[in-house]
Amino acid sequence: MKLFGYLASASEQQTPLELSEATLLASPAELREIAGFLLHAAKNMELMGKNFGHMHLSDTLRQFENSPSLIVAIGESAQAG
């Protein structure tokens, strides 16, 4: 697993940076919703295999439309298997 992200203050940033750490500032309810999204993404990833591509949290759970983007993409280790 790898983490990538953009700086909130760098609108001209073209490429995401690899992160060594990420912190979620969220309520218990938000964490449960995010966990459900991750389980849903994992199921879709397994079903679609190499055709998976990516999923956005805000496309699945509209209450996160004004939150920072959380995107799940298939990793290299999953593609190899």
- The per-residue pLDDT for range 19-54, each reduced to its tens digit, is 999 999 999 999 999 999 999 999 999 999 999 999
In sequence order, the 6+-apart residues with CB closer than 8 A to the CB of 48 are none
Q: What's the pLDDT score for residue 54?
A: 96
Q: For residue 64, count other CB atoms closer than 10 A to its CB.
A: 18
Q: How high is the mean pLDDT of the chain? A: 90
Compute CA 63 distance to the chain's CA centroid, rounded to the nearest angstrom: 15
Helix (H, G, I), strand (E, B) or coil at 58: helix
- pTM for this predicted structure: 0.83
Residue 4 lies in a domain: no
Q: Which domain holds residue 36?
A: 26-81
Residue 42 lies in a domain: yes
Compute CA 11 distance to the chain's CA centroid, rounded to the nearest angstrom: 19
Residue 15 lies in a domain: no
Residue 79 lies in a domain: yes
Q: Domain total for the chain?
A: 1
Helix (H, G, I), strand (E, B) or coil at 29: helix
